[in-house]
Structure 1
Amino acid sequence: MVLLASYLYVNQAPDKSVAELSPRWAGEPSQFIQIAGMNIHLRDEGPKSDKEPIVLIHGTSASLHTWDGWVDELKAQRRVIRFDLPAFGLTGPDPQNNYTIEHYADVVVAVLDKLKVKKSVLAGNSLGGYIAWATAVLYPERVSQLILVDASGYPFKSESLPLAFKLSKNPITSRLLKNVLPKSLVERSVKNVYGDPDLVTSELVDRYYDLTLREGNRNALKERFKQTVPGDLAKKISTINVPTLILWGRKDKLIPIKLAMKFKKDIINSQLVIFDELGHVPHEEDPQATVLVVKKFLQANKLQLPL
């Protein structure tokens, strides 16, 4: 009992306010926009004359920062928009506690409306991929092209689930995580989704750790797992008819590669590129190699983007 008490004391991790976190994680060009009762943390970069911006949607427990490498390569020629989803990053919990896939798609469209964007290229990783293709199904007139990066949305069984996800899904341990969060747990979970765990830096762990502590995010994560689950909407994936690029890390232990094949089969106008050495977040693990494929895809579909 003494050892347990000592462990819990040492690893106390109270919530942090947006004001505390912003100096490090919301520098230029970050902004906050009011949508659906939330202060959504967003970055809008590149030429505003771009009529079909690229919108990047992150996955569970990530943030807009996961796309830094892609944005650095794209923003000179293209307008690139990214934001922290409800339940994550500096955006934090949805005030209505609504984390259904339909609501997430509504939020994407609300962001586009706020920025006066009629149509965009939607790219998403994991949960963000689910949201991207769901938006294409529910609002087809708003999406010109899709980029799915190790996307979810079909039922699947993981080879290995990050420990932080396991604990957040458990009703007992999730209550413990409201006040206690060892940084080593976050580090272990991030390494779990990389093909090469040695690429996980201390700064990367700091980012995931800090933004998990944003007030309300830990409880929102538990609700996200309850509400955003594969459902009947997947039956409509075959209705997607926009050019679609599917990127996948062969070493993804969270979402099996057989789902990449299923997306390729169900979306008629699609192409699949597999990265043999990468894991569940290939855009973050090797942004240079993955964004090069994205540039070629955009060029092939008549968007002027020099390599």
Structure 2
Amino acid sequence: MSAVPTATADQHASLEARAARFPAQQIWLASQRAVNYREAECAGCESKRGALPLVLLHGIGSGAASWVQQFEVLGATRRVLAWDAPGYGASTPVAAESPNAVDYVTVLNGWLDALGIERCVLLGHSLGAIIAGAFALAYPQRVAGLLLLSPAGGYGAASAEVRNTKRDQRLAMLNELGPQGLAEQRSTNMLSAQANDDARAWVRWNMSRVIPHGYAQATHLLANADLAADLARCTGRIDVAVGADDTITPPAVCERLALAARIPLQVVPHAGHAGYIEAPAAFTAIIDTFCRASDGQRSPE
């Protein structure tokens, strides 16, 4: 056996062991839907320190396990939860074949209900930012702070031709490559040139596990969504950050979303689209600072 496959197998075994510290759990909602998630539970943090739960929403080619590095650090001071979005992992897909953000927001609201979380800090990465923004608009009383990392804005404000083209190109790529092919051919785009081998393996590991049907539904969500319009109507605490070397949602694109939210954009040097995987110290510090500032935010009347 050659050295490259052996190294890859060793890396995957190491990543799986690391993720196993925060094992996948499943909870059934009142709507009879299942949500898979991972959690780092800090016993007594909320009652003793006033630390709100942190809820993490992954992007289109990822999953709950991608947040392990944040679990390891932030889980020491607060409860941290990450879902497998509907149609990912063992989470029940949404019903609509061409869903809108509200379809995912409804499930997110039911998940928080099932977990007994009345109020949280909500973080969305890439496609997860679309769901997070729509949720903050629909349920502002449940969100003490909205943090968006490398947010995808969606194509809902574009022409029908643009929306359909973007959607169909991604669906064709999924059909041609499948999850494993996506991971091998597309994961490099998620990172900067400075990313180390462990970060590259971690992105591939997560991307190779997407479920085709759930990914296809998320592709429709991306085509239908308009995050900028939602952010323009949000009134709560919001921050937006992006890696300087992000080529998927570049700083110039994220700048327009930050302007819609009436806030400055944070740009992190030497980081690509999956910055929280590639540059965990820098992004975890941003998340921690935002969470601490959000803990004391009062719920709107």
Decide which moves more: 193-202 or 135-144: 193-202
How far does the alpha carbon of each residue in 1:60-116 deviate from its partner, in whole angstroms, 9 at most, with x for none? 020011111112111111111111001223426335546321111111111110011
Give the 3-state SS of the residue equivalent to 1:278 in structure 2: coil
Identity %: 24
Q: Residues 186 and 102 (structure 1 numbering): CA distance in 2 closer, same or farther, change over 3 Å?
A: same
For the pair 1:195 / 2:192, whether they are aligned, the reply is yes
Report the residue type matching 1:187 in the other structure. E
Letter in 1 for 2:187: V
Say which SS state the counterpart of residue 224 (structure 1) adopts.
helix
CA contact (8 A) 2:180 2:208 kept: no
Aligned counterpart for 1:296 among listed residues 285, 289, 297: 289
1:263 aligns with 257
- Superposed, which structure 2 residues align to 1:271-282 within 5 Å? 271-282=264-275
What is the Cα-based RMSD across aligned positions, in Å?
3.1
Aligned equivalents of 1:81, 1:182: Cα separation in 2: 26
Compared CA separation, residues 263 and 95, structure 1 to 2 (3 A): closer
Superposed, 1:177-188 pairs within 5 Å as 177=177, 183=181, 185-188=182-185
Q: Which runs of 5+ in 1 are unaligned?
A: 1-21, 158-164
CA distance in 2, matches of 1:122, 1:255: 20
Structure 1 window deviating more from structure 2 (127-136 vs 202-211): it is 202-211
How many angstroms apart in 1 are the aligned matches of 2:146 and 2:22? 28
Aligned-pair CA distance for 1:222: 2.1
User: What is the rounded CA distance, in whole Å, between the counterparts of 1:56 and 1:73 in structure 2?
Assistant: 14
Match of 2:231, SS state, is helix
Distance 1:301 1:92, change over 3 A: closer
CA distance in 1, matches of 2:232, 2:278: 30
Larger deviation, residues 227-236 vs 108-117: 227-236
TM-score with structure 2 setting the length: 0.76
Q: CA deviation at 1:229?
A: 2.4
> 2:149 maps to what in 1?
149
Q: CA deviation at 1:48?
A: 5.1
Map of 2:79 onto structure 1: 79
Alignment partners' CA distance in 1, 2:129 and 2:24: 23
1:204 match:
202
Where does residue 45 of structure 1 map in the other structure? 40
Q: Match of 2:286, as an amino acid?
A: V
| Post-superposition offset of 1:134 | 0.9
Cα gap change, 1:23 to 1:100, in 2 (>3 Å): farther
In structure 2, the partner of 1:31 is 25
Structure 2 counterpart SS, 1:102: helix
The verdict on how the C-alpha distance between 1:166 and 1:194 changes in structure 2, with shifts beyond 3 A counting, is: farther
Q: Distance in 2 between matches of 1:237 and 1:287?
A: 26
User: 2-side partners of 1:70 and 1:24: how far apart?
Assistant: 12
Aligned counterparts of 1:24 and 1:74: Cα–Cα separation in 2: 15
Any unmatched runs of 5+ in structure 2? 1-15, 159-166
1:218 alignment partner, one of 212, 216, 219:
212
Counterpart of 1:267 in structure 2: which amino acid?
Answer: A
TM-score, normalized by length of structure 1?
0.75
Name the CA shift for 1:254/1:96 in 2 (closer, same or farther; >3 Å).
same
| 2:153/2:228 contact within 8 Å kept | yes
Residue 101 (structure 1) aligns with: 101
Per-residue deviation, residues 122-174 of structure 1 (Å, max 9, x unmatched): 001001111111111111111110110011225499xxxxxxx986422xx64
SS in 2 for 1:94: coil
